[in-house]
Amino acid sequence: MIRFEHVEQRYAASRAVLSDVSFELSRGQLGALLGASGSGKTTALKLVNRLLEPSGGRVSVDDRDVLASDPIPLRRSIGYVFQRFGLFPHMTLAENVAVGPRLCGWRASDITARTRELLALLGLPPETYAARYPRELSGGQQQRVGLARALAARPRIMLMDEPFGALDVVTRAELQVSYRRLHDELGLTTLMVTHDVVEALLLADRVFVLHDGQIAFDGSPRELLAAPPPGAVTRLLEVARRQLGSLEALARET
């Protein structure tokens, strides 16, 4: 479904942000691009829908090179969820969700039905929330609207750039579970950027670890835990394990 083949990305004469990156995410899988800040995760995500174009190599969706696709319909066929909500503050929640279907030329009645369906599905009853504005919502509610907007035009693929990173711990956990359920129920293919090892291990079917613009690991969460490669990947796991060990020690003291 999504394939990177020897992809390189550089800006002007600067050091390559991505260098010889190759990986594949199959249809129906949820993949996590995991890595520290500056490792090239968001750059890779933006290459999928041509918000950026590769300096070298090939990025393909459904076995079609994205550079051979018109970028406008390509982007409209792919949902995109931002970290900090990205809602239009002057629009109601219903109007925010309706942006994609409206751009795709849907009938007004179908747009209304889809908007109400998604708001209800994401725990925001439309009779209560449809006419509200983003400023009237909590962060978790705003991100639910962001998810609804990304899903509104019935995309096959979802791109998510640290979608839960700006939320409190409880809300983040709730939305992670909600999204994984939606991903499975709707048969989506999702590529998600995260710097959170635990999030990647719990949510993803496949984990791609980026380090200094290169793939340092490509495999399942179980494989990552069982046999992490040395270097950056091991250090990421060690941080998570130390935090878990500290919590367990604290619990024993209470």
pLDDT at res. 152: 94
Residue 124 structure tokens? 């925001």
Task: List the single range of 110-114, 166-170, 226-230, 245-249 with lowest mean pLDDT.
Answer: 245-249
**Mean pLDDT along residues 167-189:** 89
- What is the mean predicted confidence (pLDDT) over 186-207? 93
Coil/strand/helix, residue 64: strand
The better pLDDT of the pair 131, 227 is held by 131
d(CA 232, CA 26): 25
In CATH terms, the superfamily for domain 1-77+158-165+189-254 is: P-loop containing nucleotide triphosphate hydrolases (3.40.50.300)
CB atoms near residue 146 (< 10 Å): 25
State the DSSP code for 177: H
DSSP single-letter state for residue 151: H
List pLDDT tens digits, range 211-233.
889 999 999 999 988 877 777 77
What average pLDDT does the chain have? 90
The strands making up 64-65's β-sheet, listed across from edge to edge, are 18-25, 2-9, 56-61, 64-65
> How open is the CA angle 221-222-224, to the nearest 5 degrees?
65
pLDDT at 179 over 70: yes
* Confidence grade of residue 118 (pLDDT, cut at 50, 70, 90): very high
Q: What is the pLDDT of residues 22-67, one digit of tens each?
A: 999 999 999 999 988 888 999 999 999 999 999 999 999 999 999 9
Per-residue pLDDT, 235: 77
Q: Check whether 94 has a pLDDT greater than 80.
A: yes
Cβ contacts of 246 within 8 Å, gap of 6 or more: none
What is the pLDDT, as a whole number, of residue 58?
97
Q: Of the segments 39-48, 84-93, 173-182, which one has the largest average pLDDT value? A: 39-48
Cα gap 60→52, rounded to integer Å = 13
Counting residues of the chain whose pLDDT is more than 90, the rounded percentage is: 65
With a cut of 70, say whether residue 247 has pLDDT above it: no
At residue 8 the predicted structure's pLDDT band, cuts being 50, 70 and 90, is: very high
